[in-house]
């Protein structure tokens, strides 16, 4: 039997992780909400009035709801791998004339017709995909030629303090893997998507202790579920060694422990796309 690489993500485990987090996600996902708001700001550059919008990785529906308010006449499709997340999303108050279709599916196998989507948005789900080439090929397939893709994801510096602290204890995979910005850019071009633009933002959150950080990750379903994660119960000695190693990062100013997030934003246009932005001379530089 072929062994899976340590950073491999079992989609069934991903779905179950977010199913369990559906009820606690909203209260712990402050960073995710902030990134979604930044993604919405980037949509101001759009020239097109999208008739069909696809939100891939809709979660509990925050971004879907915002899109339904902004594009009241559009047909919106909210897709997520977690059925429980979608059930929470359905509880939100959507306008009757723009109520989304909710689809439980994998981003690598979109149940969407070819060349049918004007606007595809994806907030913080690409890091949960084993093969971004397949996912971007699916995005390119469903996008119209004059459609637009906007996404956010996380880069390799994300949770670097936690990863480095565990590395001082053992060689197991304790933190999910994250892909470099340039790899995303290359995958967009390989999929045939046009004029990709990428940008990075770095956000540092402060925690009283590491256990608080790990609780937040669990509450949003983002704890470690890679194939290389330690099997069985974690020994108390190893865990305490990791906690001690993390202390080197404690801030002398406010006493907090930092957790770094490298946020990647990107957009691209559909295959052989027309310009989708309000002024072809203005290229949005995300800062």
pLDDT digits (tens, 9 = 90+) for 113-139: 999 999 999 999 999 999 999 999 999
What is the tally of structural domains in the chain? 1
Indicate whether 152 belongs to any domain. yes
Indicate whether 282 belongs to any domain. no
Indicate whether 287 belongs to any domain. no
Indicate whether 75 belongs to any domain. yes
Rounded to two decimals, what is the model's pTM? 0.89
Indicate whether 88 belongs to any domain. yes
- Res 97 pLDDT > 70: no
Report the pLDDT value the prediction gives residue 280, as an integer from 0 to 100.
36
Q: What mean pLDDT comes out for the span 168-188?
A: 92
Q: Which residue range is the domain that position 22 belongs to?
A: 11-157+178-205+262-269
Q: What mean pLDDT comes out for the span 1-26?
A: 83
Number of H helices, E strands in the chain: 10, 7
Q: How far is CA 164 from the centre of its chain?
A: 22
Q: Supply the Cα-derived Rg of the chain in whole angstroms.
A: 19
- Res 282 pLDDT > 50: no
Report the pLDDT value the prediction gives residue 227, as an integer from 0 to 100.
58
CATH number at residue 17: 3.40.50.150
Higher pLDDT, 278 or 253: 253
Q: What mean pLDDT comes out for the span 21-48?
A: 92
Q: What mean pLDDT comes out for the span 183-195?
A: 96
- For 91: left if phi > 0, alpha if psi spans -120 to 50, otherwise beta; the answer is alpha
Q: What mean pLDDT comes out for the span 239-249?
A: 96
């Amino acid at each position: 039997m072929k062994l899976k690489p340590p950073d491999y993500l079992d989609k069934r485990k991903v779905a179950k992780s977010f199913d369990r987090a559906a009820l606690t996600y909203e209260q712990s996902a402050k960073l995710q909400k902030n990134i979604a708001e930044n993604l919405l700001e980037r949509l101001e550059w759009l020239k097109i009035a999208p008739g069909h919008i696809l939100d891939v990785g809709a979660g509990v529906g925050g971004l879907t709801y915002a899109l339904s308010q902004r594009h009241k006449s559009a047909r919106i499709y909210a897709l997520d791998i977690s059925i429980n997340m979608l059930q929470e999303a359905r509880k939100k108050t959507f306008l009757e004339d723009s109520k989304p279709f909710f689809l439980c599916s994998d981003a690598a196998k979109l149940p969407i017709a070819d060349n049918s989507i004007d606007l595809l948005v994806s907030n913080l789900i690409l890091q949960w995909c084993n093969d971004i080439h397949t996912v971007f090929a699916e995005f390119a397939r469903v996008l119209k030629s004059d459609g637009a893709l906007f996404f956010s994801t996380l880069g390799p510096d994300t949770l670097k303090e936690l990863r480095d602290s565990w590395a001082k204890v053992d060689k197991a995979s304790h933190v999910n893997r994250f892909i470099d910005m340039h790899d995303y850019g290359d995958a967009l071009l390989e999929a045939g998507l046009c004029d990709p633009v990428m940008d990075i933002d770095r956000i540092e959150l402060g925690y009283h202790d590491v256990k608080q950080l790990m609780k937040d990750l669990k509450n949003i379903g983002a704890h470690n579920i890679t194939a290389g994660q330690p099997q069985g119960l974690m020994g108390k000695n190893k865990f305490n060694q990791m906690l001690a190693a993390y202390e080197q990062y404690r801030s002398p100013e406010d006493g907090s422990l930092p957790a770094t997030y490298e946020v990647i934003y990107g957009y691209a246009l559909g295959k052989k796309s027309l310009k989708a932005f309000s002024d072809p001379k203005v290229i949005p530089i995300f800062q």
